[in-house]
Amino acid sequence: MHLELENIRKVYDQKVAVDRLSLSVPRGVIYGIIGPNGAGKTTTIRMIMNIIAPDSGRVMFDGKKADISFLERVGYLPEERGLYKKMTLRQVITYMAELKGCPRKTTAGRISPWLEKMGLIEYIDQKVEELSKGMQQKLQFITTIIHEPDIIILDELFSGLDPINVELIKGILMDLKREGKTILFSTHVMEQAEKLCDNICMILDGKKVLDGKIGDIKSRFGKNALQVEIEGDGSFIKQLPGVANLTEFNNYLEINLVDKTDPQSILRQMIEKVKVRRFELAEPSLYEIFISTAKLDPKELENQAGEAGV
């Protein structure tokens, strides 16, 4: 299923939430919509799902304007989680699959394998309310894909999941991609997008600021980034001539250089004051590209990631 957005726009109380956004999601890829909290990611996804209508522009599936029939071909996991707490796991999966047109007999054969894969098989006939929050999130992920949709749309999928379950679901997404499924997900956690996505669209204040294959985007920013591990206080590095900006993580640094700066000159100045354990010229990480493009304080983004539990 090929998804296209054509100049969609949405305004709430004179505030532009999404501003003439266009993008094309190829078949069989993992496509990330990235941006800080409040950038317009969820509003965009809600317009794709026809939960809210755009004020202008169109959402197209396979070259046609989306209608109610496309919903059976889509699996959607909203940012706001919600399950029927008094139902058993078996009942809620069956019911959600029926809403997507999947017969009970077909669903019955899929329930146990999916619960087994997600580590929930022992709870199959227990009520949803007896599960932990993380278990409920895994259950809701199952209900999103149980009808084997062509396109899977996930809004802040990893929010609140522990690292083990994040890796579990990442592996499942890669398997679904290999089966030819198209996966669209939103996140403000750049590490997730960089590891998983083939393509990304970055939204800032409702506007698209970057769009394309991750490799192409990194190439556009050039190999002017240094990845450095040090022992000692590296705060002086941001003041060195030739350093455009610096992102600091404890003893690890990502440094963007001014064009034509000699990386060796930076290294020579660094080793005078700190011990350098690793020094590598590389393409900038998606995190660094995001910080640079969005002009964000890295601490602000890290706080958002912390609030998401990642």
Answer whether residue 228 shows pLDDT above 70. yes
Return the minimum-mean-pLDDT range out of 31-35, 175-179, 224-228: 224-228
DSSP codes, 124-170: TTSBGGGS-HHHHHHHHHHHHHTT--SEEEEESTTTT--HHHHHHHH
What's the average model confidence in pLDDT over 83-104? 94
pLDDT of 186-206, one tens digit each? 988 888 888 899 999 999 999
- Give strand pairing partners of 154: 77, 185
Pick the most confident of 116-120, 186-190, 298-302: 116-120
Is 256 in a helix, a strand, or coil?
Answer: strand
Alpha-carbon distance 292 to 235, whole Å? Answer: 18
DSSP codes, 175-221: HHHHTT-EEEEEES-HHHHHHH-SEEEEEETTEEEEEEEHHHHHHHH
CATH classification number, 220-307, choose in 1.10.3470, 3.30.70, 3.30.2310, 2.50.20: 3.30.70
Alpha-carbon distance 145 to 100, whole Å? Answer: 10
Nearest Cα to Cα of residue 283 among 226, 209, 242, 202: 226
Residue 65 neighbours by CB distance under 10 Å: 10
pLDDT tier for residue 310 given thresholds of 50, 70 and 90? very low
What's the average model confidence in pLDDT over 206-217? 91
pLDDT of residue 191: 84
pLDDT of residue 219: 79
- Percentage of residues in the chain having pLDDT higher than 70: 94
What's the average model confidence in pLDDT over 106-130? 96
What's the average model confidence in pLDDT over 213-238? 86
pLDDT of residue 179: 95
Q: What is the CATH number of domain 3-218?
A: 3.40.50.300
Packing angle, helices 286-294 and 214-221, rounded to 10: 60
- Percentage of residues in the chain having pLDDT higher than 90: 62
**CA 26 vs CA 31, 71, 99, 190, 239: distances in Å:** 8, 18, 27, 21, 43
Q: Which ranges in the chain are annotated with CATH 3.40.50.300?
A: 3-218
Contact 73, 29 (CB under 8 A): no
Answer whether residue 298 shows pLDDT above 90. no
DSSP codes, 3-57: EEEEEEEEEETTEEEEEEEEEEE-TT-EEEEE-STTSSHHHHHHHHTTSS--SEE
Alpha-carbon distance 147 to 73, whole Å? Answer: 8
Answer whether residue 86 shows pLDDT above 50. yes
pLDDT tier for residue 305 given thresholds of 50, 70 and 90? very low
Instruction: Give buried/exposed letters for 109-132 (b at 16+ CB in 10 A, else e).
Output: ebbeebbeebebeebeeeebeebe
Q: Which ranges in the chain are annotated with CATH 3.30.70?
A: 220-307
Answer whether residue 300 shows pLDDT above 70. no
**CA 181 vs CA 70, 77, 176: distances in Å:** 15, 15, 6
Residue 63, judged by CB atoms within 10 A of its CB (0-12, 13-18, 19+), counts as exposed
